[in-house]
Structure 1
Amino acid sequence: MSSRSGTVFLLAAALAASACDKQTPAGEQANVAGASNASPDEVSPDGAVGSKSAASVAGKIDRTHQGEAAPSVTFFDAAGKKTSLADFRGKPVLLNLWATWCAPCIKEMPSLNAAAAIAGDKVHVLAVSQDMQREKVAPFFAEQRLTRLVPYGDPELGLSLAYKANLPMTIMLDANGRELWRVSGARDWADAESTALIAAS
Structure 2
Amino acid sequence: MVKLRKSPELLVACLAALLAGCDTGAEPDTQAASTEATDTTLTGTLDRSLAGDEVPVVTVRQPDGTELALAETDGQPFLLNLWATWCAPCVIEMPLLDDMADELGDTVRVITVSEDLRGAEAVKPFFADHDFAALEPWMDPDNALAFAYGGGAVLPLTILYDAEGKEVWRVIGAYDWSTAEAREAVLEAASTK
Q: TM-score interval w.r.t. the shorter chain?
A: 0.7 to 0.9
Aligned residues of 2:99 and 2:133 also touching (Cα < 8 A): no
Give deviations 1:142-199, integer Å, cap 9, x for gaps.
2121121000000000001111320000000000110000000001112111011111
Instruction: Report the Cα offset of residue 117 of structure 1.
Output: 0.9
Please show how residues 56-75 of structure 1 align to structure 2 within 5 Å. 58-75=43-60
Q: Which moved more, 1:149-158 or 1:128-137?
A: 128-137
1:154 aligns with 2:140: yes
How many Å separate the matches in 2 of 1:196 and 1:189? 10
Give per-residue Cα distances to partners, 1:87-121, cap 9 Å, x unaligned.
Answer: 31311110000000000000111000011011111
RMSD: 2.4
* Counterpart Cα distance in 2 of 1:131 and 1:170: 16
Match of residue 105, structure 1, among 71, 74, 90: 90
Query: Quick one: structure 1 residues 153 and 15, their matched pair in 2 at CA, closer, same or farther if it must change by over 3 Å?
Result: farther
Show the counterpart of 2:126: 140
CA apart distance, 1:61 = 0.3
Residues 1-201 of structure 1 aligned to structure 2 (within 5 Å): 16-19=19-22, 21-23=31-33, 58-135=43-120, 136-164=122-150, 165-201=153-189
CA distance in 2, matches of 1:75, 1:198: 22
- 8 A contact 1:94–1:171 mirrored in 2: yes
- Normalising to structure 2: TM-score of the pair? 0.75
| Cα 1:78/1:141, change in 2 over 3 Å | same
User: 2:81 & 2:18 partners in 1: Cα distance?
Assistant: 18
Q: Return the alpha-carbon distance in structure 1 between the equivalents of residues 59 and 48 of structure 2.
A: 24
Query: CA offset at residue 74 of structure 1?
Result: 1.8
Asked whether the 8 Å contact 1:26–1:186 carries over to 2, the reply is no
| Greater Rg by CA | 2
Structure 1 residue identity aligned to 2:139: G
- Structure 2 unaligned segments of length 5 or more: list them: 1-16, 24-30
Q: Distance in 2 between matches of 1:190 and 1:89?
A: 27
Percent identity between the aligned chains?
43
CA displacement 1:123-142 (0-9 Å, x = unmatched): 11000000111222122122
Question: Following TM superposition, by how much is the alpha carbon of 1:24 offset from its aligned partner in structure 2, in angstroms?
Answer: 6.5
> 2:159, 2:170 within 8 Å by CA — same for their partners in 1?
yes
C-alpha displacement at 1:18, in angstroms?
2.0
TM-score normalized by the length of structure 1: 0.72
Report the count of equivalent residues. Answer: 160
Measured in 2, the distance between the counterparts of 1:16 and 1:169 equals 20
